[in-house]
């Protein structure tokens, strides 16, 4: 066979000197730079010799827990941007903090309407009735005959502009059925038409469902994600939970659009903890409100609890064959 003129040949016989992948090499060297910081954070946290700092969540712990949430809640679904995590005392604390801060920041108020995906964990039914809230509730009923899925007729209720927020437990409690992909997409499509709609998805049981994708993955800017380690890791006594919000979210936008007199009220509420209270993010308001603002300097989940949360997260991240999930789902 004749050799073609001017044919260039890639010489791979002694390796590949022609190009190299820089990103994984950068990651490799980062391992050498961050191991000491990680060990220091873990050791100091085990000793519990200081208040949590940052108070929302320890720096490296947030990164690891964030990766765990990406794996379990988002998976391979496309996701643009980053999210913040607030470590809390289980899913129940998350519920308490979220309802309270939504009220304090005028995202919901007495007489407002919210929607609940039924069936649902009973406190989501009971909290709106309390004197602190007095919310009107629209129920979206899952169809038992259709495998506990929501019909489009039920989900259509979310198009009503009176509905300020939709609270959902996925997989459901008590049926333990995840919302199918079509319904999740339908909700996400409604959000495109109603960009002011607030979503809360409580995905405590999501890790038990096959091929689970959270609503947080499809409508991240409108969704507050609640997760707890209690059920999946058999750790109810540890009180380990997390709240996650996208860094570019509708909650911050809605607060920024409040009337001047209301914004002045919020400025005065949070001015003791920051020189720029008007720039305080919703998730950081959650942290402050969890300690009645004035005790913000002592806010945050205890550091030993955060270590256990990190260890659970790393255990799952390292379990590439999903052996634990297989055993726990039997």
pLDDT tens-place string over residues 221-233: 999 999 999 999 9
**How many other CB atoms are there within 10 angstroms of residue 40's CB atom?**
11
Helix (H) or strand (E) holding 169: strand 163-169
Domain extent listing, the chain:
66-328
The pLDDT assigned to 30 comes to: 62
- Measured CA to CA, the distance from residue 167 to residue 199 in angstroms comes to 6
The pLDDT assigned to 1 comes to: 47
Token pair belonging to 141: 């009923």
- Measured CA to CA, the distance from residue 241 to residue 172 in angstroms comes to 18
Percent of the chain with pLDDT over 90: 82
Q: Can you tell me the mean pLDDT for 149-172?
A: 96
**How many other CB atoms are there within 10 angstroms of residue 64's CB atom?**
20
Q: Is the pLDDT of residue 48 over 80?
A: yes
Q: Is the pLDDT of residue 12 over 60?
A: no
- pLDDT tens-digit series, residues 25-43: 666 666 556 878 899 999 9
Q: Can you tell me the mean pLDDT for 308-316?
A: 95
**How many other CB atoms are there within 10 angstroms of residue 227's CB atom?**
28
- pLDDT tens-digit series, residues 194-218: 999 999 999 999 999 888 999 999 9
- pLDDT tens-digit series, residues 97-111: 999 999 999 999 999
Q: Is the pLDDT of residue 327 over 90?
A: no
- Taking a C-beta distance cutoff of 8 angstroms, is the pair 83, 247 a contact? yes
Q: What is the rounded average pLDDT for all residues in the chain? A: 91
Percent of the chain with pLDDT over 70: 89
In sequence order, what are the beta bridge partners of 242? 87, 227
Shortest CA distance to 235 belongs to which of 290, 171, 327, 311?
311
The residue among 23 and 127 whose pLDDT is bigger is 127
- Taking a C-beta distance cutoff of 8 angstroms, is the pair 42, 304 a contact? no
Confidence of residue 6 (pLDDT cuts 50, 70, 90): low
Supply the CATH classification number for the domain 66-328.
3.40.640.10
- Taking a C-beta distance cutoff of 8 angstroms, is the pair 232, 71 a contact? no
Shortest CA distance to 109 belongs to which of 118, 122, 100, 119?
100
Q: Can you tell me the mean pLDDT for 81-103?
A: 97
The pLDDT assigned to 174 comes to: 85
- Give backbone dihedrals phi and psi of 205, rounded to 5 degrees, phi first: -95, 5
* DSSP three-state, residue 241: strand
- Give backbone dihedrals phi and psi of 87, rounded to 5 degrees, phi first: -80, 130
- Looking at residue 297, the DSSP 8-state letter turns out to be G
Q: Can you tell me the mean pLDDT for 177-190?
A: 96
The pLDDT assigned to 204 comes to: 94
In the sheet where 136-141 sits, what is the strand order? Answer: 83-88, 241-246, 223-228, 198-202, 163-169, 113-118, 136-141
């Amino acid at each position: 066979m004749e050799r073609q003129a001017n044919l260039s040949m890639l010489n791979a016989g002694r390796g590949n000197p022609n190009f190299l992948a820089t990103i994984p090499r950068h990651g490799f060297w980062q391992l050498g730079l961050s191991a000491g910081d990680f060990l220091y954070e873990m050791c100091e946290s085990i000793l519990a010799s200081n208040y949590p700092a940052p108070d929302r969540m320890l720096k490296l712990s947030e990164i690891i827990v964030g990766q765990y949430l990406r794996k379990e809640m988002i998976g391979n679904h496309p996701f643009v941007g980053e999210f913040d995590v607030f470590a809390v005392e289980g899913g129940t604390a998350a519920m308490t903090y979220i309802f309270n801060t939504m009220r304090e920041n005028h995202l919901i108020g007495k007489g407002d309407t919210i929607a609940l995906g039924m069936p649902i964990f009973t406190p989501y039914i009971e909290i709106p009735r309390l004197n602190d809230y007095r919310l009107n509730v629209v129920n979206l009923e899952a169809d038992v005959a259709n495998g506990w899925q929501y019909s489009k007729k039920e989900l259509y209720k979310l198009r009503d502009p009176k509905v300020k927020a939709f609270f959902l437990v996925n997989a459901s409690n008590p049926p333990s059925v995840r919302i199918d992909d079509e319904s999740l997409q339908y909700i996400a499509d409604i959000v495109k038409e109603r960009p002011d709609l607030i979503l809360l998805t409580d995905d405590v049981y999501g890790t038990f469902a096959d091929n689970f994708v959270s609503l947080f993955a499809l409508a991240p800017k409108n969704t507050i994600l609640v997760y707890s380690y209690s059920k999946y890791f058999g750790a109810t006594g540890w009180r380990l939970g997390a709240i996650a919000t996208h860094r570019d979210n509708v909650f911050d936008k809605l607060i920024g659009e409040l009337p001047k007199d209301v914004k002045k009220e919020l400025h005065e509420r949070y001015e003791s903890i920051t020189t720029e209270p008007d720039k305080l993010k919703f998730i950081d308001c959650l942290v402050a409100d969890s300690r009645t603002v004035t005790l913000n300097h002592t806010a945050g989940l205890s550091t030993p609890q955060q270590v256990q949360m990190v260890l659970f997260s790393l255990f799952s991240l390292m379990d590439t064959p999903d052996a634990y999930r297989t055993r726990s789902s039997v």
